[in-house]
Amino acid sequence: MEVVCNLLRTVIHATPDDLLPVVYLFSCCIAPPHEGLEFGIGESTVLEVVADAYGIALDRIKEWNKKDLQIQCAEQTLLAALGQAAMYNEEDSKLPPEVQSPLEEVSHLIEISEKCVIARISSSDSFLQGWSTMLAIKVGHGEAADIVKQAYSVFPDFDKIVSALLTDGVWLLPKTCKFTLGVPVHPMLAKPINCVSDALTKFKGIEITCEYKYDGERAQIHYLENGLVEIYSRKSERITGKFPDVVAAVSRLKKIIVSSFVLDCELVAYDRAMHKILILQELSTRARKDVGTSDIEVNVCIFAFDLLYLNGQTLLQENLIIRREHLYASFEEESEFLQFATSITSNDAEEIQKLFDKAVGARQSIDIMQKKPNLMSGSKTVFEVKASDLTCSSEYPAAIGLVNPDKLLTFIVGGGDFTFSIKGSLRGARLVAVAKMYKAQEQRKESNKQSNMTNEDKDGDEDADKGDHRLSR
DNA sequence: CCTGATGCGTC
DNA sequence: GTCGGAC
DNA sequence: GTCCGACGACGCATCAGG
C-alpha cells in the first residue's frame, strides 16, 4: 500500500503525463471495458513467444507446458514476467544460482511475476486504495477513497477520471465524472443465499422487495437522445450487434414521452408462439457478430427490472421502488417482447416464500433474489460501491501497457517506454511487440550476466524443474 | 471448402 | 454461474 | 462477511491445415 502510494505520488510529481498509463497498469486493463480494446494474447501465444525468444521448438515447449512448466493465466503471466524482467536492476538481476536452463529461467520469471501479480491484485483495489490514500493524505481527509470508488463504479473510464483528478481534484470528482449516457455503469449483482428465511433474518426489520431473476443474459440498454441504442453485457462489453431485435423492440416499446433511458434487464430466449421462456442454452446459440434482423432464429424477450436513467436525468440516487415506478411508466409491456420482472414488496415470510415457490415451480430455470438492503429501504445510496465493483475484468488481469489511439503499442516498464508501431493486424502486431520486448530483455540480461555462461544453453531441457513452479496460491 | 484446435464470451 | 480459501 | 481466485459447461468466432 505504501509502495503504491509513493509510486503514484512520485509519478504525479515527476511525470504527470504518465499517470494515466500507470493507472491502467495497476488496473489491469488498457481501456474502458466498453471500448473493447484487448490484448488478445492467450496461452498458445505465450508458448509461441517463449519458443521464439529462446529458440526452442514449439512442440517441445508445448510438451513442457503439459508437464512441468504449467503456464497458466498466460497473458497475465507473460506480461507480468516481461514487466518484472524489465524492472530488474543491478542488484536484483542475478538469477538464483540454481537457475540454469532457459526453461528454468522462464519458470523463474513466471514465479516472480506471479508474486508481482498477486501482490497487486490480491489486495483487491490496491491501486485505488493507494490512490485515494494518497489523495486523502494530500487533502487531509479520509473520504477520498470512497469518492474515487464511487466515481469509477458509475463512470468506468480512467482516461477521464485521471485527467479530472489532475485538473480539478478529488472533491469535484462527483461532478466531473458522473454517470453518462453511453458509458455502462457497473451492474449491481445478486448475492446467493441458501433460503428465504436466511434472507429474512438478514434483513430483519427492513422492508424488502423481491423479484424473479430470469435465466438469460444480463443487459444494460442505453437509449440516447438521438435515437441511438447501445447494449452492454454484464461485463460492460458492447453487445449491441448481437441483438438488433432488442434494439428495435426497445425503441418501439418506449413511451412517447421517453427521450432517453438506461434500462437494466435480462434478455431471455423466448418462444413467441408458445409464450414460453426457453432455457439459457437456446439463447447462447444466437450468432454474436453483425446479426441481421432477418436471420434471427432464437427470439428474446426483455425482462426489465430497473431503470437507471430517464430523459436526461440519472435515477441512481433514487431508491429501487421509485426507479421501478419510472420503469413501469416509461415502457409498454408486450408479452412477447418486453415484460417487467415479477416482483413483490413485503416483509411477510409466507408471501415471499410463496413467490419463491411460484418462481421455482412454474419455471424451473427461474429463481428469486433479493436486492441489497440499501436498495430497498429507501436509502439514498442506490448503487452500493464495494471494492469488488472496481475489480478489473479477470480476463485481462495484468495488461502492462496500453494501446494508444494512434496505434502504438506502448509498454510502460522499468522507468522506460518501449514503443512499437503496429503493423498489420492488431493481433499480430502485438505479438511482435511482445516478442521484441522479450528479446530486448534477454539481451539486457545477457550483457548483465557477462561472465556467466558463454551463451544460452538452448538444449538445457533436461528434466526441467521438479520443484514447485506451479502457480498455486 | 471443410475441420479441428483454440480463444473467449455467456452463465 | 459455483466453490472454497484468506483475511 | 467479504473478496477474489479457480473451476465448469456451453457455443460462437477465428484460423491454420488439409
* Average pLDDT of the segment spanning A131-144: 43
Which residues numbered 165-194 in chain A sit less than 7 A from strand D, measured from CB? 191
Per-residue pLDDT, A181 = 95
Lowest mean pLDDT among A236-245, A338-347, A408-417: A408-417
Burial class (CB in 10 A: 0-12, 13-18, 19+), A448: middle
Write the DSSP assignment of A4-35 as a string of letters. HHHHHHHHHHH-GGGHHHHHHHHHT-SS-GGG
User: What's the pTM?
Assistant: 0.66
Q: Which protein residues, judged by their CB atom, are less than 7 Å from any atom of strand B?
A: A 38, 40-45, 74-75, 215-218, 233-235, 237, 239, 280, 284, 395
C1' of nucleotide C2: residue with nearest CA: A192
Protein-covered nucleotides of chain D (CB closer than 7 Å) are 1-7, 10-15
User: Does residue A420 sit in helix, strand or coil?
Assistant: strand
Q: Return d(Cα A215, Cα A9) in angstroms, integer.
A: 46
Say which range, A93-107, A246-260, A398-412, has the weakest mean pLDDT. A398-412
* Predicted local distance difference test score (pLDDT) of residue A249: 98
Using the structure block, give the residue that is written with the C-alpha cell 431471455. Answer: A268
| A191-385 CATH, one of 3.30.70.2740, 3.30.360.10, 2.130.10.10, 3.30.470.30 | 3.30.470.30
Range from A100-109, A335-344, A407-416 that averages highest in pLDDT: A335-344
pLDDT digit string, tens, across residues A23-79: 765 655 667 778 765 544 445 555 565 555 555 566 665 665 554 444 433 444 444
A206 pLDDT above the threshold of 60: yes
A124-145: buried (b, 16+ CB within 10 Å) or exposed (e) per residue? ebbbbbbbbbbbbeeeeeeebb
What's phi and psi for A125, nearest 5 deg?
-110, 55
**pLDDT at residue A157 is higher than 50:** yes
Which of A50-59, A172-181, A304-313, A386-395: highest mean pLDDT?
Answer: A304-313
Phi, psi of A229 (to 5 degrees): -120, 135
Active site residue A213: yes
Q: Where are the domains of chain A?
A: 1-176, 191-385, 388-449
How many Cα neighbours within 13 Å face the side chain of A333?
11
Q: Say which of A178, A213, A235, A354 is annotated catalytic.
A: A213
How far the first Cα of chain A sits from its last, in Å, is 20
In 3D space, the residue among A321, A312, A313, A311 whose CA is nearest the CA of residue A382 turns out to be A321
Q: Class assignment of domain A1-176?
A: mainly alpha
- In strand B, the nucleotides that come within 7 Å of a protein beta carbon are 6-11
Note whether A400 and A337 are within 8 A (CB). no
